[in-house]
Amino acid sequence: MGRVRVRVIVDKGTSVFDGVYLSVARGAFRRYSTYRAATVAGTVTNTVFGMILASTMLALWRARPGLGGYDAAQAVTYIWISQGLLVTVAVWGGGFQDDLQARFRSGDIAVDLYRPVDFQGWWLATDLGRAGYQLLTRGALPMLAGAALFDLVLPGDPLVWAEFLLAVALAVVVSFGLRFLASITGFWLHDSDGVRAAMAVVSMFFSGMLLPLALFPGALGELARVLPFSAMVQLPADVLLQRRTGTALLGLYGFQLAWGAALLALGRAGQTLAVRRVVVQGG
Amino acid sequence: MAVIEVEDVRRSFTVRTKEGRWRRGKREVRAVDGLSFTVAEGECVGYIGPNGAGKSTTVKMLTGILVPSGGRLRVAGVDPAARRAELARRIGVVFGQRTTLWWDLPLRDSYELARRIYRIPDARYRANLDRCVELLDLAALLDTPVRQLSLGQRMRGDLAAALLHDPSVLYLDEPTIGLDTVSKAKVRAFLRETNRERRTTVLLTTHDLTDIEQLCGRVMVIDHGRLVLDGPLERLHEIGGSERTLVVDLAEAHPPIDLPGVRVARTEGPRQWLAFPARQSAAPIVAAVAERYPLVDLSVREPAIEDVISRIYAGDPAAVPAP
């Protein structure tokens, strides 16, 4: 079922585009589509967690209606959006990070540097390909299940969905920027697992994955709103729930773009430093 | 014309060592220490040395992913570290223990990607792919995901990937490691053909000396970051003071045979191993043994280059040539 849609998009891509990075992104997309059992298991997990969390939220909102400016239906919708984004945006890490980590450990990272392709661009392309596949499976399917099981407030206007997809794409770029920084510490530390674990905790908390950021009190809420993590879950959810429209929506994209650009630039600087003093394990 | 020029190249690493609970010391390790050589276009050179001798460090500097601490390097006329991306289009690299192939996707996808990465013109790509598919016997494997390939198949796949863009220099790091005899023969035949027909310059790092014997006209031996030998394969035997071995079976056990110019390397019951210089003829020794001892059977063993090299590595002063 998901497979049919996947093929159509891949074929369209082949005929229209012909660049290296598109080719890399397409390859990553197809590669993830070969992990069928993992996709099914992951989608079921997201759905089950969505059901548990949505029920919890319903109970919470019954006790405290209007919490954070959300009504109960919006709160439940928020939960399903965040479940759909969790893996698509790789909120707790993963995606290209696992491949990169494996390549640091095995020393295969050396091979990557022999190729006349940009290291950061290469991994960004693989991550966008991965996100594309996961949006169609682990993003869309739990949301469909959520819509079937709960009363969600989803927009009927296709334009809002398009705006949402743009916000998700930018969310993936911000997420990539953060994960890339965490991963390239591998050039110095040989093993970036510790950094990744710390990043995952912070990221889950400040992205709005656990609770909408509007529920964070005072200074903590202010902090959460300026950190890049909010670009990953809270902001795309705001777009779909239409909490930000018009100029506020432009501001939201601006925030995502600014953080995305800043993080990519930092990653690039880090990459330059790393390549300059590259020490490859083994080999 | 020299394709690879290495002039007094050095590379040292700082290694941190633990000294006591908190204190950390620093120690400088010279992985490559004053290395000089040139490789001409179309040459196939074996680059050998024990683990940790500086082979990989050299190759990393030649590909530009490691900056030398000193000295001068040129590959195809350019400084590798300064122009890594440009050079990458002109070199091919194959590691026996690494892969550039896309693990979960069919072999063909990795080649398509190489076509884009190296911007290979269509006709060239097709011709090169056809040639590799034929010579490396890949036709049946093109649509198989790389993770399902055997080691030998994957190695052949990697070789093809490294050659689609017609590199002028090919670095091979243990290309036959772990392969069975048939796969090794295929890989070697392909490399010989590529070197001969395409005039591809090959620098081959290996621990399998059969690779060298079958492919390389010239061999460089590196140890402790310095070249200890550079010359044709035959010179290895000369310099290594190679010995041939005459294995004789006598009618019964005897004390070690005593003949001038002959050293008894080993005895085992009625069998004795007689070592003598490789340039010397075996005939007079055989005659002398047959005359004085009850000779039942004999065989002559040619010198193994492993032995020669292990003597050079061990720092046998007789084996190391004067600089």
* Domain annotation covers residue A263: yes
Residue A7 has pLDDT above 60, yes or no: no
Per-residue model confidence (pLDDT) at position B106: 93
> Please, which residues have CB within 8 angstroms of residue B181's CB and are 6 or more apart in sequence?
none
Residue A21 C-alpha, separation from nearest chain B C-alpha, in angstroms: 9
Please give the Cα distance from A5 to A76 (Å, whole number): 28
The 3-class secondary structure across B269-301, one letter per residue, is CCEEEEEEECCCCCHHHHHHHHHHCCEEEEEEE
Residue B216 C-alpha, separation from nearest chain A C-alpha, in angstroms: 23
B59 contacts in chain A (CB < 8 Å): none
Mean pLDDT of chain A: 88
* Domain annotation covers residue A190: yes
* Domain annotation covers residue A282: no
Smallest CA-to-CA distance from A103 within A90, A116, A121, A119 is with A119
* Domain annotation covers residue A109: yes
Which of A73-77, B8-12, B256-260 has the weakest average pLDDT?
A: B256-260
What pLDDT digit, counting tens, does each position of A65-98 carry?
999 999 999 999 999 999 999 999 999 999 999 9
Per-residue DSSP letter, A244 = S
Strand residues in chain B grouped as ranges (E): 2-18, 24-40, 44-48, 70-75, 91-95, 169-173, 201-205, 218-223, 226-232, 243-250, 263-268, 271-277, 295-301
End-to-end CA distance of chain A: 44
Say which residue, A237 or B84, is predicted with more confidence. Answer: A237
Residue B172 has pLDDT above 90, yes or no: yes
Range of the domain at A56: 2-276
CB nearest A23 (choices: B85, B86, B116): B116
Helices (H) and strands (E) in chain A, counts: 14, 0
The 3-class secondary structure across B105-147, one letter per residue, is CEHHHHHHHHHHHCCCCHHHHHHHHHHHHHHCCCHHHCCCEHH
* Domain annotation covers residue A116: yes
Please give the Cα distance from B140 to B133 (Å, whole number): 9
Which of A18-27, A91-100, A200-209 has the weakest average pLDDT?
A: A18-27
**Burial (Cβ within 10 Å: 0-12, 13-18, ≥19) of residue B24:** exposed
Backbone phi, psi, residue B72, to 5°? -130, 135
Q: Tell me if chain A has a CB within 8 Å of the CB of B116.
A: yes
Residue A187 has pLDDT above 80, yes or no: yes
Architecture of the domain spanning B242-313: 2-Layer Sandwich (3.30)
Contact (CB<8Å) A106/B98: yes
Contact (CB<8Å) A23/B98: no
**What percent of chain B clears pLDDT 70, i.e. is strictly above it?**
94
Are B14 and B27 spatial neighbours (Cβ–Cβ below 8 Å)?
A: yes
**Which residues make up the CATH 3.40.50.300 domain(s) of chain B?**
2-237
The residue-averaged pLDDT of A263-282 equals 77
Mean pLDDT of chain B: 87
CB nearest B65 (choices: A23, A34, A113): A113
At CB < 8 Å, which residues of chain A contact B? 18-20, 23-24, 27, 30-31, 34-35, 106-108, 110-111, 113-117, 275-276, 278-280, 283
Name the domain count of chain A: 1
Residue A22 C-alpha, separation from nearest chain B C-alpha, in angstroms: 10
Q: Radius of gyration over alpha carbons of chain B, in Å?
A: 24
Which of A126-140, A162-176, B182-196, B223-237 has the weakest average pLDDT?
A: B223-237
ipTM rounded to 2 decimals: 0.77
* Domain annotation covers residue A218: yes
**Burial (Cβ within 10 Å: 0-12, 13-18, ≥19) of residue A149:** middle
Residue B322 has pLDDT above 60, yes or no: no
Q: How many residues does chain A have?
A: 283
In chain B, which among 119-178 make CB contacts under 8 A with chain A?
145
CA B200 distance to own-chain centroid:
16
3-state DSSP assignment of residue B263: strand
Per-residue model confidence (pLDDT) at position A117: 85
Q: Tell me if chain A has a CB within 8 Å of the CB of B84.
A: yes
Mutate to test the interface with B, among A23, A26, A114 (most CBs of B within 10 A): A114
Per-residue model confidence (pLDDT) at position B309: 73
What pLDDT digit, counting tens, does each position of A129-181 carry?
999 999 999 999 999 999 999 999 999 999 999 999 999 999 999 999 999 99
Please give the Cα distance from A131 to A87 (Å, whole number): 8
Which of A179-188, B20-29, B74-83 has the weakest average pLDDT?
A: B20-29
What pLDDT digit, counting tens, does each position of B41-99 carry?
999 999 988 888 888 889 989 988 888 889 999 999 999 988 888 898 999 999 888 88
What pLDDT digit, counting tens, does each position of B268-316 carry?
989 999 988 877 888 899 999 988 899 999 988 877 666 777 777 666 5
* Domain annotation covers residue A241: yes
pLDDT confidence tier of residue A267, bands split at 50, 70 and 90: very high
Contact (CB<8Å) B60/A280: yes
Say which residue, A168 or B17, is predicted with more confidence. Answer: A168
A117 contacts in chain B (CB < 8 Å): 117
Could you tell me the CA-to-CA distances from B319 to A270, B146, B277, B287 in Å, in that order?
48, 45, 13, 30
- How many CA atoms within 13 Å lie on the side-chain side of A117? 25
Say which residue, A88 or B102, is predicted with more confidence. Answer: A88
Please give the Cα distance from B91 to B167 (Å, whole number): 5
What pLDDT digit, counting tens, does each position of B30-54 carry?
889 999 999 999 999 999 888 888 8
What pLDDT digit, counting tens, does each position of B134-158 carry?
999 999 999 999 999 999 999 999 9
Fold of B2-237: Rossmann fold (3.40.50)
Residue A6 has pLDDT above 60, yes or no: no
pLDDT confidence tier of residue B25, bands split at 50, 70 and 90: confident
CA dihedral A137, A143, A148, A154 (to 10 degrees): -140
